[in-house]
Structure formats: C-alpha cells, structure tokens
Structure 1
Amino acid sequence: MKGQTMVKVAVFVGSLRENSWNKKVANDLVSHLPEGYEAEFIEIGNVPFYNEDWDSEGNIPAEAAHLRTQAKEADALIFVTPEYNRSVPGMLKNALDVISRPPSAQLLKGKPAFIATASTGQYGAFGANHILRQTLMFMDVPVVAQPEVYLAKVDTLYIDGVLNQGTQDFLGKAIERFVKHVELHTK
C-alpha cells in the first residue's frame, strides 16, 4: 500500500453521546480490521462551524487545522453514524465541510471509505447512509458499494453490552470487503 506497512484508518462517528450505539458499532467494526491496519477515532465534536474566512485570511482554528491534518494523514476512512431528521448529523457534515475546504486541497480525494449506519428505529439510518454516500461521492471518495450496512433496532442487537454473533459475523464480512476495497484503491 503505497510503500507503507501500516494502513491508517480514520474513523468518524456521527454521534457525540457517551454511550452511543454508533460508537459501539464503530468499536465492533474496527475490531475486525486485520493486522497492518490501525484505526484512529477522529474527534469532531469540538470543531467549530466552517467559515470560509479561515482559508482566505489564513486564521484557521486549531481544532479545524488538526482535523485537516488527521484527514490528510489517513489512508482510508470509516464512517459510522445515526440519522437525524433523515440526514447526516450536523457535526459530521461540518467535519466534512472543514476537511473539504478549500476545494483545491482535496484532502480525501481517492481515499477508500466505508459507511455503516445504525439506529434504534426500523430503517437503520438508511437516509443518513445515502446522503453521506452522496456527499463523499462529490468529494471523489470511493465508497464500498456492497454490503450496505444499516443496523436497525441496534439496541436489540446488544445483550449485556455484547453484539450478537450474527451481527458480528456480518460486520466481519463487511470489513473484509472494506479491506479489499482499500487494497484496490491504494495500489
């Protein structure tokens, strides 16, 4: 992979809640990453709302600059998010806006990505998954097409804090596909 021995995977979780189901799913997902892959959870809750003046005036806030550095250094991306009002949570969209500006930087262009969405509702955050997919496509980020991961009624998939075996197996196969996707796009 571009002469590297370690693939750095930036993990974005679209929920700030301490005991978020999506954080649990993200942890379960990355537990399936093979040797040679390193997951880094990216903090997005402290990033100020994007302001174009940062780039024109050269005074970008430290949190935004750090986020851009983390995005630039990542080899691949994993997004795990709930759905708010049939869309992507605001702080996740803001993080993508901060990373994607100025347009000439193209910090995520060509970096392989994987999306998983989860909710306690019956649709598994289907809307957020597709809106995020559309946003990433515009940013020229190749996203794993199959399997699509929508975890509906995620609260019923955990028993005593442990994800059921069937869902674990599904996530493991999804990560296998992500690894193939990464290999395809980082040669």
Structure 2
Amino acid sequence: MSVRIVALVGSLRAGSHNRQLAEAAVKLAPEGVDVAIVEGLADVPFYNEDIDVEGSVPAAAIALREACAPADALILFSPEYNGTTPAVLKNAIDWLSRPYGGGTLTGKPVAVVGTAYGQFGGVWAQDEARKALGVAGAKVLEDAKLSIPGSVVRFAETHPADDAEVAAQLVAVLGQIAAAAA
C-alpha cells in the first residue's frame, strides 16, 4: 500500500522555487510514497463562514477539500512574505480546517518545508504555518523540517531536484511523513 502525500505550494509565481521544491518531492518520493501537488489555490476565495454552507461552498474550495481528503498526509511548501506565511497557504489551511474539529486536516500528519531568499530560508513563515495547522487540528510533524536559505542564488541555475544536499534532505522529510502516516 502506498502512502499518499498531498503538497500545497504557498507561492503562485510561475518560476517559484517552492513550486520547484514540490516538483522535486514528486520526482524524488521514495518507493511506496506518492506525492501529488494540488493545483488551483489561487482560485480559492478567502475563507468566509457565510459561504461555507451546503449549496454555497465555492467549487475551488470543494476541489481543495476533495484533493486533500483522501491523502494520508500533507506537506506544505512555504516561502516567506514579510516574515510570515503567504495568504494563499493560510487560506488553504482555513478552508481545510472546517468544519472545526472535523475538517480535512483533523489528525492528519502535516509537515512544512520551504525555501526563501533570506538567510533563514523562511523559518518564520514555516513556524507560523505549523502554528495554524496545529490549531486547525493537524498532527504537525515538528521534527520534519527543511528551510533552505538564499533560494534566488542557490536555485538560479539548478533545480532543487538536482541539488544533492537538498534532494537528500527532502527525501528524509518525505520518509518522516510516510512513517507518521503509516
């Protein structure tokens, strides 16, 4: 039986290094682990409880929930915007946390990793995402971490999948997630 990990990418930019890191996770996933990137986060409206009622839930929010529900675990790839989590990623967490206590995230193993231009690799954003995930009921994997600094320089000419150090660290994180989901 394969472990299904769903990846959410917090950057909408076409050339996003976090998107490339997620692509590396898909490519480098160990045997028995399947990683799938969720598309369409830009189309999910900001969470609003008034529209989160049967018959009114936006199609993009339904698609997000349906993509994540069958997953054994999630991995979030977060850049850092002004010292915190990008709105698109926080919004996805909000939609997946509802209904409170019974949302898609409840009890599900989740890791947060990423890369950013700064010298700490997006640690603040990743910590904020972990906090929100924990409040939302996810089983946050506090030890499954990967923060890659200097993304603009490090990945200027090298895809993260082709960076031996990053690849090894990413495979290790995927192994931790798979073990938690088993």
Instruction: State the TM-score, normalizing by the size of structure 1.
Output: 0.87
Task: Give the conservation status (yes or no) of the 8 Å contact 1:32–1:175.
Answer: no
The residue type paired with residue 173 of structure 2 is A
C-alpha displacement of 1:174: 2.3
Pair member with larger Rg:
1
Identity over aligned pairs, percent: 33
Partner of 1:94 in structure 2? 91
Distance 1:159 1:7 in 2: 32
Distance 1:116 1:61 in 2: 28
Distance 2:82 2:101 in 1: 31
Task: Give the conservation status (yes or no) of the 8 Å contact 2:5–2:72.
Answer: yes
Task: Give the conservation status (yes or no) of the 8 Å contact 1:117–1:128.
Answer: no
Q: Which secondary structure state, in structure 2, belongs to the residue aligned with residue 15 of structure 1?
A: coil
1:130 paired to 2:127: yes
1:51 paired to 2:35: no
RMSD: 1.8
2:8 corresponds to which of 3, 6, 12: 12
The residue type paired with residue 174 of structure 1 is V
- Matched residues, number: 179
C-alpha displacement of 1:10: 1.0
After TM superposition, the runs of 4+ consecutive aligned structure 1 residues lying more than 4 A away are none
Partner of 2:147 in structure 1? 150
1:39 paired to 2:38: no
Distance 1:162 1:58, change over 3 A: closer
